[in-house]
Amino acid sequence: MGRRCTARGSGRRRAGRVGGGLAALLAGLLVTGCAAFDTDDDVRRARELAAELYPGELEVVDARILFPETTGSEVTLSVEDDPDAAVRFRVDAGKDRCDGGPDCTDALREAVDRARREARDLRAMREAFDGCGHPVLAADEKLTAPWIEARVSDGTLDEVLARAGACAQRWVTARAEQGPKEVPGWVTVNFAAPGTAEGLPAAKKRLPTVLRLTHGPRLAALAGKAYYVAAYPVGEDAGHTVDAASARLRIVSPLAERQAFSRRIDASVLPALRATYPEAVTSGGAGMGVWRLEPGTVRRMRGYVLFCERPPADGERCPGDLAALVTSDPRGRDAEVVDVLTDIRDERGVLRLPPQ
């Protein structure tokens, strides 16, 4: 899993030398191709534990160093009778500790139990969405929000939300069968454009399904473009009804697009604000907040723009003493002020805004 070198056992440097030492270390790695931190001893220890507790059932499939720690590795094992499960736990052979504690036997047992629960949860998600015509492309690491393909537009919106809501209902029903604590109050579904799956990065096929569907580069590629997220409320009735008609839809955009949105929404809304507050200034960064699409359309969205009645006397940035509830197009243009809220912070100055 890694080539043995000497830097791992060298200990921590004094604080004043960390920056230079790290730079020199990385430069040396580039020249020599040598892994200054390796996983060999930790993998060996993980294999010993697996052979002792689960003979013939677990196989090491991956390991990574716990950088910037100087010791320990995260070791991943597959499970013979469950190709979906990924057993992950931290092993520090030098200190004979696992997952931060002294009992490696218990740590591995807990890791196996956790892996089987995650695999069960992933199967429930995939069976629900795959079974109703929307194969799962990926899922967040907590396995609470699947990615599926769907063409979202004004013309398809109601149908898309209804179909995905039906899939979500299947998923919630399956989770309810596992126990009442497994039923969430809301279900989240991420929508990628049709055809997205073909170009997504893929993890190694030998890795368990959980790792392949939560693969970091895969999730990063999906989040690299603006996408829609639907949140469905789940009822407290006996059937745990997913209310597709009350789904909340929003757009999630990459950072650069949100920053551009912030600039455009400020420029678009200030003329309307200054009709009532002639010296109004915005606090900036409105695009970093939550903006939800108006019901029934993807052409208008609403959110809050924080502003001050006049520039702060000390020349500091406006912290946002007032909040304008605003609608605009998805690019932050054609803004309209729906309402202005004045009592938006508690006695400690913490922002308190009602849902849009």
pLDDT tens sequence across 203-242: 999 999 999 999 999 999 999 999 999 999 999 999 999 9
Pair 242, 218 in one domain: yes
Pair 213, 242 in one domain: yes
Separation between Cα atoms, residue 23 and residue 253, nearest integer Å:
34
What is the domain count for the chain? 3
Q: Backbone phi, then psi, for 110, in 5-degree steps?
A: -65, -40
Which residues, other chains included, contact 320 with Cβ-Cβ below 8 Å and sequence gap of 6+? 283, 306, 307, 308, 344, 351
Pair 67, 84 in one domain: yes
Pair 145, 189 in one domain: yes
Name the pTM for this structure.
0.84
Asked whether residue 334 is assigned to any structural domain, the reply reads yes
DSSP 101: B
DSSP 317: P
The token pair at 268 is: 């678009």
Asked whether residue 1 is assigned to any structural domain, the reply reads no
Domain limits for position 269: 255-341
Residue 9 has pLDDT above 80, yes or no: no
Separation between Cα atoms, residue 133 and residue 139, nearest integer Å:
17
Banded model confidence at residue 188, pLDDT cuts 50, 70, 90: very high
Distances (CA, A) of 114 to 189, 210, 260, 348: 24, 12, 42, 40
Q: Please name which of 244, 267, 32, 57 lies closest in space to residue 132, comparing C-alpha atoms.
A: 244
The token pair at 104 is: 């490696």
pLDDT value for 20: 53
Pair 216, 304 in one domain: no
Residue 21 has pLDDT above 70, yes or no: no
Pair 241, 147 in one domain: yes
Which residues, other chains included, contact 99 with Cβ-Cβ below 8 Å and sequence gap of 6+? 89, 90, 107, 110, 111
Asked whether residue 140 is assigned to any structural domain, the reply reads yes
Pair 332, 283 in one domain: yes
The residue from 252, 278, 298 where one domain ends is: 252
**Geometric angle at alpha carbon 128, from 123 and 131, rounded to 5°:** 110
Pair 273, 287 in one domain: yes
State pLDDT tens for residues 269-293: 999 999 999 999 999 999 888 899 9
State pLDDT tens for residues 303-330: 999 999 999 988 889 999 999 999 999 9
CB atoms within 10 A of CB 136: 19
Pair 246, 305 in one domain: no
